[in-house]
Chain A
Amino acid sequence: MDRKKFFLSASLAAAGIALFKYIPFTSARKNFDSKKVEVKINPLAVSRKKVGEKNVG
């Protein structure tokens, strides 16, 4: 067996597989990430720690 040809075809195959797996994953994807979103608690909101609690009668 031609050793050079073996390694050439094996590496080409690996490169081909990698390429074809790469293409659908990056280029055909819509980018849903817009600019960075900040999470900020509204300071005027009132929270509670437990579920069943009432404050005002």
Chain B
Amino acid sequence: MPMKARVSTFGLLAGTALAITTIVGLFVVPADAAQGDVQRIMYVHVPSAWLAYLAFLVTFVSSVLYLWRRELRFDRLAIAAAEIGLVLTGITIVTGAIWGKATWGKWWDWDPRLTTTAILFVVYAGYLLVRQSLGDRYRRARLAAVYGIVAFVNVPIVHFSVLWWRGLHQAPTVIRPGDPSIDHTLLFELLASLLSFTLVFIWALRRRTALEAGRDAADLTLGPGT
């Protein structure tokens, strides 16, 4: 029964990694020369954003696989990833707004990336609502898969929005040709933070998928997909 695993070794590992990178990000690495301490927000903001995108990619791939193979395990993965992606998108938006207030003096400045991330949040909130409104288990899985695929078409638009619109948001500093413009110590902490977030993501994904499997096994009708 998948419900057995409460706090697994992997969960402990992920939690410890997150705690270490949080402490290092807050107290150990030096402040950024240009932005000062406020740049430390990057260590949680950027991994949240990247993993939110990864989560939506997982939902997309799982949705395609469900439509192809019609196996419920893909649907469980899709809902799990969408829900975690939504949480991470929410965190990205809030931490981004806080970072914006500290650097631009405004919580919200209709910055392209922040705005389109907010749209992404609404799209996947719509995905979860669509799931909740469909009763039959297999029908829900099939229709949610279609919606999950359509929703993902919006993700590249979000990702490339920084190139489409010219806003306040700083241009990408890590993924671009040539040497990253970020200091190496800070880059190392960013990558370490990304790793710890990824571990937490994988752990949450496994646990949330197991929850869905438990629901399927018990055939609960407690508001599907919630």
Co-assembled chains A and B: no
Residues of A within 8 A of B (CB): none
Residues of B within 8 A of A (CB): none
